[in-house]
Structure 1
């Protein structure tokens, strides 16, 4: 059988029954569209979270008090010795360390000009903007005071500035944080929400003052920023040896940003695979539809099969003919689903611009291959049945 004849027979069999063919390929199309839509949302969320997580720099090591025995983002645990400002100062003297930022976090009532607002309080060091790539929009940041002589200065987040002072210049103004008076030195640039936390609605105080405010002995975290050309493993080893010598035992946890990203990436990849699998179920349903339609087609075309066999068509050619029809149904359905899925993503981006989407072409390609594979697999049984029909019996069936 010539290739053109083969193609003509395959497509004509589908065109002569348009309603049945459309209903069959719709099952595959819906499956592909579901895979495209769900994986695009999953991949978009993945990239959004990673971008949010890395916008403050990528060469950062976090040190937390307490020793965790499981992997993951460490929590705060009871320690023999707290993680102190003196520890942070000692870390600053390590080679290839660019900046060290002690962090204390809590919330308190902030008052100014007769207005009050309960908001987040961050106790940080003078190198906070440099370490986390967070610029000052107005005024300047906290000075490099000694921990024992930290002055009562404060820097406002952009949203808090708007809530308390409106369009008035807040520089030099006095505010109360938890009952203590502070002078405003600056206003940070607007960052919006980062992983669900509004860092614009916050006050930044010297870490020593925040420890006093919340009556704490230990810092919640120390972030170490190191040089880009430094070897991360060596920096981690230096930090570990220094803190071990100062504390006498390993009552701290060191977490590199790459470790955090690896854990975060594995969770988000699992999410994307899970939503992609939901679309795969739709593809299987479409495959069942192809099996049903092709089985009916074999029953309806027994005379045609007998005639082809009488004219000299071999069994493998009959097998290839019906497999070709199933494959065409799957491919056309896959392409239709791809176009529909991309259209849905564009519509979703227009209606919900805040929802991050990104078409994961590797998943789309896998779904298209899966659709073609399902089409072939679904056509095997009907095609084998057609190929093994007796030619004489097929001719008598008319």
Structure 2
């Protein structure tokens, strides 16, 4: 029996029992579709979150107060020291630094005439718009006043402006924050939401005013943006040396945007694989279906196998025929499942463009490989039994 004869035998075997073959292919296709769809959800979520965090730039280092350290015992001890506006101003003088943002934030009531709204209040430096790549749609951002004695200016997020003032002009109007009047000098462009946090429902005020408003001694964070002529490692060393010269000890913690994005990427990839493994359960069920179908086929075609053996077919050839049939069924289901998944994702992207779905070719190829492996594994037992049948006994029983 040559290769063409073997392929013809497999094709006829699959087509001769159409209902059985369709059920087997459908079982595998459903499993592959489930894996492909679940991984597309995971990949879409990964791209969405990484793009959301990357919109603020990748050359950012965040400094927070307090240094985590172990002291030879279980648990973590924190020593929290304040970060000051003077610390932020000293970092502004470092080489390669393009922007420094001192940050303090909280929530509070913002009032305008008879309207009021509880919202997020950010006390920031004048570089915040450039550092975070946020744009002003009306007016201007906070000016570079004396960092310790800034004028009572405010910039509103687009949603907050709409809630308090509607469509009327707001530049030059006043809002009250914590009993203090702030003159509105700008309105930000809409940025949407990030992890449930509404970036448009914010009011920006000078950082010194924010410290007074929240009665804080320490900044919550200092963001340092550096240019492309250095890297995060070198910049982190410079920041550490500068702050240690002011504080005497390393009582602060640095986070680079690259490290945060890398960690987030690793976590999201693991989640995607975990979700795909859940979908793999349906593939296992499909594999069981292939085994059942192949065992049934073996019982029905015992005489045919006996005739092949009597005509000179070797055990190896019969083994290959049954394995080939199982692989054809599984791969057919895999291809149909992938095409179905692509169609569903394309349709959802057209009808629901905001739904984060993204097809990764690697996972599609992995799903197809899984269907091939399932076919091989599911066909081994029936193929072995078929190759070991006694041709005389099978023909006599027939």
Normalising by the smaller structure, the TM-score range is over 0.9
- SS of aligned partner of 1:223: strand
Measured after TM superposition, the shift of residue 351 of structure 1 is: 4.9
The offset of 1:147, in angstroms, is 2.3
1:261 aligns with 2:227: no
Aligned to 2:111: 111
> Pairwise mapping of residues 1-398 of structure 1 onto structure 2 (< 5 A)?
1-69=1-69, 79=79, 81-398=81-398
Change (3 A) 1:69 1:7: farther
What SS does the corresponding residue of 1:68 show, helix, strand or coil? strand
Deviation at 1:350, TM superposition (A): 4.5
- How much has 1:68 moved relative to structure 2? 2.9
Question: Distance between the aligned counterparts of 2:339 and 2:6, measured in 1?
Answer: 28
Residues 157 and 190, structure 1, Cα contact 8 Å, conserved in 2: yes
DSSP 3-state at the match of 1:64 = strand
For this pair of structures, how many residues does the alignment match?
392
Tell me how far apart the structure 2 counterparts of residues 46 and 217 of structure 1 sit (CA, whole Å): 37
CA contact (8 A) 2:68 2:79 kept: no
| Aligned residue number for residue 74 of structure 1 | none
Offset of residue 344 of structure 1: 2.2
Structure 2 counterpart SS, 1:101: strand
Q: CA–CA distance in 2 between the matches of 1:353 and 1:131?
A: 29
Q: State the Cα distance separating 1:347 from its structure 2 match.
A: 3.5
Secondary structure in 1 matching 2:67: coil
Supply the distance in 2 between the matched residues of 1:49 and 1:148 (Cα, whole angstroms): 36
CA distance, structure 1, for counterparts of residue 111 and residue 9 of structure 2:
82
Deviating more after overlay: 61-70 vs 165-174: 61-70
For structure 1, list consecutive stretches of 5 or more residues without a partner in the other structure.
Answer: 71-76
Aligned mates of 2:239, 2:135 — CA distance in 1: 27
Aligned to 2:73: none
Q: Is the contact made by 2:68 and 2:78 (CA closer than 8 Å) also made in structure 1?
A: no
C-alpha contact 1:155 1:204 (8 A) present in aligned 2: yes
Equivalent position of 2:74 in the other structure: none
Distance 1:378 1:19 in 2: 19
Check conservation: 1:280, 1:367, Cα contact below 8 A.
no
Q: 3-state SS of the aligned residue for 2:138?
A: strand
SS at match of 1:172: coil
Deviation for aligned residue 1:7: 1.1
Whole-angstrom CA distance in 2 between matches of 1:148 and 1:256 = 27
Q: Is the 8 A contact 2:66 2:81 kept in 1?
A: no
Deviation at 1:79, TM superposition (A): 4.7
Q: 2:171–2:184: 8 Å Cα contact kept in structure 1?
A: yes
- 1:367 shift after superposition: 1.0
How far apart, CA to CA, are the structure 1 residues paired with 2:320 and 2:78?
A: 70
Give yes or no for contact 1:330–1:372 (8 Å, CA) kept in 2: yes
Given that 1:53 and 1:195 are in contact with CA atoms closer than 8 Å, whether structure 2 keeps it comes out as no
Shift of 1:158: 0.6
- The corresponding residue for 1:73 is none
The CA deviation at 1:117 is: 0.8
Deviation (angstroms), 1:190: 0.7
Distance 1:354 1:148 in 2: 43
Which whole-Å CA distance do the structure 2 matches of 1:91 and 1:342 have between them? Answer: 50
Residue 258 of structure 1 deviates from its aligned partner by: 1.0
1:357, distance to aligned residue in structure 2 (A) = 0.2
1:9 is paired with a residue of what secondary structure?
helix
Cα deviations across residues 150-188 of structure 1 (Å, max 9, x unaligned)?
A: 110000111111111111111111110111001011111
Q: What secondary structure does 1:307 align onto? A: helix
Q: Structure 1 CA distance, aligned partners of 2:13 and 2:245?
A: 81
Q: What are the Cα deviations for residues 174-208 of structure 1, in whole angstroms up to 9, with x where unaligned?
A: 11011100101111111011221111111100000
Q: Report deviation, 1:281.
A: 1.4
